Amino acid sequence: MTSQSAATLRSRYVEQAASDLEENRRRQHELAERITVLKQEEALLADILNLAEKYAGFGDASRLPEQLQDEPVVAKAKRASAGATSRRTTPVKTSAKAGAKGKSRQPLLGDLLAELLGKHKEPRLAKELRDELLEKHPDRNPTPQVVRNTLESLVARGLIQRHKQQRSVMYTLVNRSATDDSE
């Protein structure tokens, strides 16, 4: 091997190592952000569990406190994890819209996402679905992570399919007519 080819090979290794190091740092940053979101979700789930345990003896589910429709769930989780030393255990007042007799509650996020997916034949990115949701339902403002988690929940239940294309994950509604005919 000549000294020139050895130098070329060495420079390629240096470039590859630098590229790998940069990719590693980028991934570490992404994971740190993901950990932050997961901690917020953990705080929220702990609050939900505490409330569920507190109201486990209620026979009439209509008397359970409802989440305010105007405040996003993630904002509550951030507030709860940001420094409140004592967790709020008093019932949350219902909004006039949600508490009025005869009025129906907002549809579940999973139902809205499945409905949006049903309007498209081609696979859709979670970001595209969130953008469409924000456009059609301005009163709803789920975080991108909540949308992805909800979509993955629908995948686990067999209602939608996940498609991976390189580093992108796309979703489509499962064709129910083909499965309904066989039942």
pLDDT at 124: 94
pLDDT tops 60 at residue 64: no
pLDDT at 62: 54
pLDDT tops 80 at residue 2: yes
pLDDT at 1: 76
Picking from 48, 46, 45, the residue whose alpha carbon sits closest to that of residue 149 is 45
- Higher-confidence residue of 105 and 67: namely 105
Structural domains of the chain ordered from first start: 1-98 (no CATH), 106-183 (1.10.10.10)
Q: Which two tokens stand for residue 144?
A: 């991108």
- Contact in structure between 95 and 138 (CB atoms under 8 Å): no
- Higher-confidence residue of 81 and 120: namely 120
pTM attached to this predicted model: 0.43
Helices (H), the chain: 3-54, 73-82, 96-99, 109-118, 126-136, 144-156, 176-181
- Contact in structure between 119 and 82 (CB atoms under 8 Å): no
